[in-house]
Structure 1
Amino acid sequence: MRDKTVLITGSSSGIGRATAEAFLDEDWTVYATARDTEDIEALADAGCETQELDVTDADDVEAAVDRVVEEESRIDCLVNNAGYGQFGPLEEVPVEDLHAQFDVNVYGPHRLARAALPHMREQGEGTIVNLSSVAGRVATPGMGAYCGSKFALEGMSDALRAEVDTHDVDVVLVEPGPVSTNFDDRASDELDDGPERTGAYDSLYEFYEEQETFGGASALAIDPEKVANVVLEAACSPDPDPRYPVGRVAKLTLLARYAPDRIRDGVFRLMNKLV
């Protein structure tokens, strides 16, 4: 059997690193990427091919995909994992920060998909796995920028899945709930180091700061390895599901989509009063 090849973005830690390790354990040829290759030296030592890749840089994207194809003659799976969360009330999120959020979480996967798809079409198969979130299906206050980017990724993935179906290319969304990674540390930094607060949303900041809502701070967070195993399952399946919610919190949260908007708004209003 020929080796299968996967390109993974954002492999320096968390889900990306765990995913690289999971594919490596199954004898895939793994191209693990990060903005700084020093952050993925351990993956190189473990047997991964490593590459510098900033998903906001078109030249980096082209170079990474071209290297895989030149060295392996094919690319079987693309895992768009690189991303971060820009938190804060939307009024207080500067436009440039919103643009940066979409540049990484939305335009990045689009750049990678455009680079990889011609090769997948030519070889007659392939899988694109986009790491989304339950925040891409249920929006919550204080997460508008992040939710908006994940909602956009979900919509694009749904359209792309239908567009490439005739070419035998699969497009999959993986939707974790809170995960035990350093994602929550960066999210907290976005709140602490963000623009000057107006004072109009103090209760919202207090909710996030006191309730430890973010990923690793939550007692309900799942290990990144669990997400990585789902990504691997989707990549190996001959007929993967369009979406894979991961973790109990994710599955329960997704049920909120079926509640009327006024009920969800009422829940947020009650939570604000309690704070």
Structure 2
Amino acid sequence: MAKTILITGCSSGIGYDAAHGLKAAGWMVLATCRREEDCARLRAEGLISFPLDVADPASIEAGFNEALARADGQLDALYNNAAFATPGAVEDLPVGALRENFETNLFGLHDLTLRAIKVMRAQGDGRIVQCSSVLGIVGIRWRGAYVATKFALEGLTDVLRLEMRDTPVKIITLNPGPIPTRFRLNAIPHFEKWVDWKNSARRAQYETSLLKRLYEPSGKPDAFELPPSAVTRALRAALESANPKPAYYITGATHIAAALRRLLPLRLRDWLLARA
């Protein structure tokens, strides 16, 4: 029987590539999306797909139960990929914006992780892969909400990995850097919902920096940019290696960020990151 993996956030980008890439590699992929119309599109492409909204506890329960039913109770891997960002200066982020980010990027992910661990303990094997980010290693301006969720995910996953060492369940983190996806476009509605930039003390900075990045991208690849398939390759290594790494750094930007955090004094690191 093919090994089974449940993936969240498969409508586009990293999750979409992972779903198709793992299916091609022989995995039984349970590719979930927040919206049914996206699931229908994936089903038309030959994937097993059904709704699972990680910001909705009822949808998490229903989606996880559907996954187990489709796979006859077997779950070899969980890939927690779904996430989004609300860009803006930290001083302009209402508490509600942070809560919304944490519901998807951490709390829903944790709910699924707990459910998966119970199944994997019972079957005697399993892997849980958390999709973090280069921004789980260092922070940059305008990304405070997203950075906060990824730093929290890194800490929670580090502790979980330590605690699960005496079990057959392996805990692994992926840290992608710049990957061309719909992530920027998907962030715009959240920015418009929560950030009152016109009345911000930083209005001029928004106009010369963040607004241009959001609404007027240059179209040129970011430095160190790699395609989503680079993340899928790392995911396959995490899932199929006999002794997987605790974390996989993807793109040169992530390796540089890790070196900055490990080697530089904080004041110098701040000076460099303020220019990013």
Q: Same fold (TM over 0.5)?
A: yes
**2: CA distance, partners of 1:214 / 1:80:** 28
Q: Which residue of 1 aligns with 2:238?
A: 234
What's the CA shift string for 1:203-227, capped at 9, x where partnerless?
A: 5422334467989864332211111
* Post-superposition CA distance 1:180-205 (Å, at most 9, x none): 00101233454455432244224542
Shift of 1:78: 0.3
Matched, 1:207 2:209: yes
| SS of alignment partner, residue 127 of structure 2 | strand
Gap runs ≥5 in structure 2: none
**Would you say how many aligned residue pairs link Structure 1 and Structure 2?**
270
Is contact 2:39–2:51 with CA below 8 Å preserved after alignment? no
TM-score by length of 1: 0.90
Q: Deviations over 1:239-266 (max 9, x none)?
A: 2111111011221222210211111222
Q: Which amino acid aligns with 2:99?
A: H
Q: Pick which of 3-12 and 164-173 moved more.
A: 164-173
Equivalent residue for 2:51? 52
Q: Which amino acid counterpart does residue 39 of structure 1 have in structure 2?
A: D
The 8 Å contact of residues 127 and 169 in structure 1, kept in 2 or not, is answered as yes
Is the Cα–Cα contact under 8 Å of residues 88 and 190 in structure 1 kept in the other structure?
no
Amino acid at match of 2:22: F
Does 2:262 align with 1:252? no
1:129 equivalent to 2:95? Answer: no
AA of the residue aligned to 1:201: R
Q: What does residue 146 of structure 2 align with? A: 146
Letter in 2 for 1:219: D
The aligned counterpart of 2:66 is 67
C-alpha separation between the residues in 2 aligned to 1:203 and 1:172? 41
Aligned-residue identity in percent: 33
1:265 aligns with 2:270: yes
Q: Which amino acid in the other structure matches residue 266 of structure 1?
A: W
In 2 relative to 1, CA 88–215 (structure 1 residues): closer, same or farther, beyond 3 Å? farther
Q: Is the 8 A contact 1:183 1:216 kept in 2?
A: no
The Cα of 1:12 is off from its aligned counterpart by 0.4
After superposition, the CA RMSD in angstroms is: 2.2
TM-score by length of 2: 0.90
Distance 2:160 2:273 in 1: 33
Indicate if the aligned counterparts of 2:92 and 2:200 stay in contact, CA closer than 8 A. no
String of CA shifts for 1:28-82, please: whole Å, max 9, x gaps.
Answer: 1111101112113342133321111110222221222222223322100101000
Give the match for residue 195 of structure 1.
195
Deviates more, 1:15-24 or 1:255-264: 255-264
Gaps of 5+ in 1: none
Q: After the TM superposition, which of the residue ranges 216-225 and 127-136 deviates more from structure 2?
A: 216-225
- Equivalent residues of 1:157, 1:171 under 8 A apart: yes
- CA change 1:80–1:214 in 2 (3 A) is farther
The 3 A distance-change label for structure 1 pair 172 and 203 is farther
